[in-house]
Structure 1
Amino acid sequence: MGTHTLLCLPDACILMSNFVILLYLLFVFPGMISAHPCSTVFCSQKSSIPIRFPFSLESNPHHQDCGYPGFSLKCTGLGKTVLKIPRSGEFFLRDVSYAKQQIWLYDPGNCLPARLMKLNLSGSPFSCPHHLEFTFLSCPKNQTSESGIIDCLSNNRDVVLATYNKLWADLMTSLYCKIIGTAQVPISQRIRPSRGYLIDLNKDIPLSWHDPDCKTCESKRGVCSFKSNSTKKIGCSNMKSDNKAHLIAMVVTLSITLPTFACGLGIWCHRNKRRSSRSSTSDQAVAHPAFSVSRQGFLGFSSLPPPPPPPPPPPDRDDNSGTSQRGVTSQSTDVPAHLAEMIIQSFPKLVVGDSRHMTRPNGNDDVCAICRSKYRQKDILKILPRCDHCFHAKCVDDWLRIKIECPICRNSTFFP
């Protein structure tokens, strides 16, 4: 005696939906954990200047809140990176060092000395790591050699020179030059003055910043960022650690997803195979040759193997008194008592399983129509083959010994 359990189509749907959810957790959820919204961006594919904290890009709506105040950048149509200093205007960004917290600027109009004469870093987070005070002189062209001339400020009659040496500037003004301005010029440590003035003052402007201080984080190959959107506190994240955590999350999710799906698929195939094998034998007769009973209509029941079919009824014989030996009487023919009992006992039986639920076309699926009691687990039921109705075995046996018709549909249970 075995218990048959069928896997319906919804079970396969549940299995596939679980697999889809696991795939979502695999590819989406780890990305949500490790992906930082303030990632590194560039002004163009050819640009070599990475834009990340403390800088932000104005034209990118997802990047505007990623920078520190005063570090806003924008891009030109040609892919140039632009920094605007409040009191000095816009400069192109040549390079940036996040480890040293330095930037190098140059003039979009290619006349940096003119911009240096008006350079004012107040109101910006940037300062000059090294600077010298220069005096700008305008001298007659016929009285000055070509070395050190600032071409973009000179003309056909006068040339402009710049010197950091006040004595040399005083000497030149006493002869034929005049002072047109002074400025604190940021210089690099690599630049060395020559003959009292710079050979080339049109080099890049080196500037640095001190707040926010991310040198320690950068030295550990980390990336500075805000700890959260609601606070301006600075934190340090390790991108390699984040990528490693993402990889570990993917491996763990795969180790759970693939075995679970394989196991579920195996169970589904096994149960589907069992269902197919039962369906192929569902039309076979299980009782008297005059009728058949299908097992496919039951869910949660265990089928008992039916007894062998009874022999055909012998012809009636009259006794000495001239009356026939009769047991149970049908509406159309007489059946001997011993033969009727054999037919009654040959009807198929069922044992109620855990579900206690019947799907046959019985008037009351869970109630015996004779005693009006609900079926309980391990109750033995008997099926009337012609109409497929079920009752308690004891109840229907007593009924059929009196009447040979179904208590529900009133069809004869012995003969068509």
Structure 2
Amino acid sequence: MILLLLLLFFSFINLATSSELCFDSHCTGDYQTIRFPFRIVNGQPKSCGYPGFDLSCHPTGEPLLHLPHSGDFIVQNIDYMHQEIRINDPDYCLPKKILYLNLSGSPFVKKNSQTVAFFNCSSNYIPYWYNDPIYCLSSHSHTVYASSSPMLINMFESNCAMIKTVSVPSSFSYSSNLWEYLLLKWENPDCGRCESVGQRCEVKSNSSNEIQCTDSQGRSRVGANVVSIAMGVVAAVICFLGVLCCLCFKINFRRRGSSSSIAHWTVSSQRTRTMGLNGATIESYPKFVLDESLSLPKPNNNVCPICLAQYQPKEIVKSIPNCQHCFHECCIDEWLRLKASCPVCRKSPIEAPPSNPS
């Protein structure tokens, strides 16, 4: 019975752990919800995401997207319905990332784009029209500027060296600030249609790339049911084992109690019969009251060997006939009830007729 319950218990545990439960997830300290087609590597099963949409968590607690030819980007926002993602540079130099941006090998394309020209100017050059330099690309010997305005581009071409012209993805066609973030989108998988009707997107069973729309609770509900069943089985098994342990403990306790009672009765009976002397024998040993001289049968024996207290006048002392060793009456009486031997020489006492020497 126990073996069957344990097998059932581990079966549910394996089901709960092996079932790829695709719950919504987050990086530590970030509000952005991570769900299909994205997934957090080492935090969600592989089937909970789509190829190319793997995320990790940056030490700052924000999601991190790796583009094969452009490096890592912080994910600022994911719009699942419109299939857009807003990213930025974790090293706070987005213009440098833009200079070498290459989206090949990733599922992402530019949402909108505008042509931006980068220029390398001398450090003492000041544009006629105000334009912020790109400080993270500049140094004490040169200053880097960038612009998408045809008029400013002509001005820079007359005074500076062009570094590169790139197509920058942005939210609007001529954004006033190009360095806030990059806006990318994805076409496949097409989950926007599911999101627009309040459903979620997931990979079909036994399919690596084909997707389907499911109820918004979807696999989370299945996973929650599996976990609930597993927890119920765990609780039942723990309760059963607890009751079984209590029963075993009570049975063993009763057995030990019966055995110890029998043993105690046997030992007590043996002690009554063999270990100590009876009361009549103890009372038959000679006793006397000490005088002021504290005279005893043996010289220099002025301390009771049992309690180690010195004898005092008028105390009652009792001696053992066989060896003449003396003790306080109360001390030796108690001793002889437990042990039939002299506390000093260990000899067995010899019963003697009552006598009261003066």
TM-score band w.r.t. shorter chain: 0.5 to 0.7
Correspondence for 1:183: 166
Correspondence for 2:105: 123
Whether the aligned pair in 2 keeps the contact of 1:135 and 1:166 (CA below 8 Å) is no
Match of 1:202 among 141, 159, 179: 179
Report matched runs for 1:98-113 at 5 Å. Answer: 98-113=80-95
Q: How far off is 1:177 after superposition?
A: 0.9
Task: Provide the C-alpha distance between the structure 1 equivalents of 2:120 and 2:34, rounded to a whole number of angstroms.
Answer: 40
Q: Cα deviations across residues 152-193 of structure 1 (Å, max 9, x unaligned)?
A: 11223322111223454233222x21101111101112x745
Match of 1:155 among 113, 121, 139: 139
Correspondence for 1:134: 116
Correspondence for 2:264: none
Match of 1:96 among 78, 98, 103: 78
Correspondence for 2:34: 51
Task: Provide the C-alpha distance between the structure 2 equivalents of 1:177 and 1:246, rounded to a whole number of angstroms.
Answer: 61
Which segments of 5 or more consecutive residues in structure 2 lack a partner in the other structure?
A: 226-358
Q: How far off is 1:239 after superposition?
A: 2.4
1:171 counterpart = 2:148: no
Correspondence for 1:221: 198
Judging by fraction of residues, say which structure has more helix. 2
SS at structure 1 position matched to 2:178: coil
Task: Provide the C-alpha distance between the structure 1 equivalents of 2:218 and 2:101, rounded to a whole number of angstroms.
Answer: 42
Whether the aligned pair in 1 keeps the contact of 2:170 and 2:178 (CA below 8 Å) is no
Q: How far off is 1:47 after superposition?
A: 1.1
Inter-CA distance 173–206: structure 2 relative to 1 (3 Å threshold): same
Q: For 1:55, give the aligned amino acid.
A: F
SS at structure 1 position matched to 2:212: strand
Match of 1:42 among 19, 26, 37: 26
Q: Which moved more, 1:90-99 or 1:226-235?
A: 226-235
Task: Provide the C-alpha distance between the structure 1 equivalents of 2:224 and 2:62, rounded to a whole number of angstroms.
Answer: 36
Whether the aligned pair in 2 keeps the contact of 1:98 and 1:218 (CA below 8 Å) is yes
Task: Provide the C-alpha distance between the structure 1 equivalents of 2:224 and 2:106, rounded to a whole number of angstroms.
Answer: 41
Inter-CA distance 171–79: structure 2 relative to 1 (3 Å threshold): closer
Task: Provide the C-alpha distance between the structure 1 equivalents of 2:21 and 2:83, rounded to a whole number of angstroms.
Answer: 22
Match of 2:59 among 55, 77, 92: 77
Which segments of 5 or more consecutive residues in structure 1 lack a partner in the other structure?
A: 1-12, 14-19, 249-416
Q: How far off is 1:106 after superposition?
A: 0.6
Inter-CA distance 111–246: structure 2 relative to 1 (3 Å threshold): closer
SS at structure 2 position matched to 1:182: strand
Correspondence for 1:236: 213
SS at structure 2 position matched to 1:239: coil
Q: Cα deviations across residues 307-341 of structure 1 (Å, max 9, x unaligned)?
A: xxxxxxxxxxxxxxxxxxxxxxxxxxxxxxxxxxx
SS at structure 1 position matched to 2:210: strand
SS at structure 1 position matched to 2:204: strand
Task: Provide the C-alpha distance between the structure 1 equivalents of 2:90 and 2:224, rounded to a whole number of angstroms.
Answer: 44
Task: Provide the C-alpha distance between the structure 2 equivalents of 1:246 and 1:69, rounded to a whole number of angstroms.
Answer: 23
The TM-score normalised by the length of structure 1 is 0.46
Q: How far off is 1:74 after superposition?
A: 0.8
Whether the aligned pair in 2 keeps the contact of 1:59 and 1:75 (CA below 8 Å) is no
Task: Provide the C-alpha distance between the structure 1 equivalents of 2:54 and 2:124, rounded to a whole number of angstroms.
Answer: 46
Moved over 3 A (4+): 165-168, 240-248
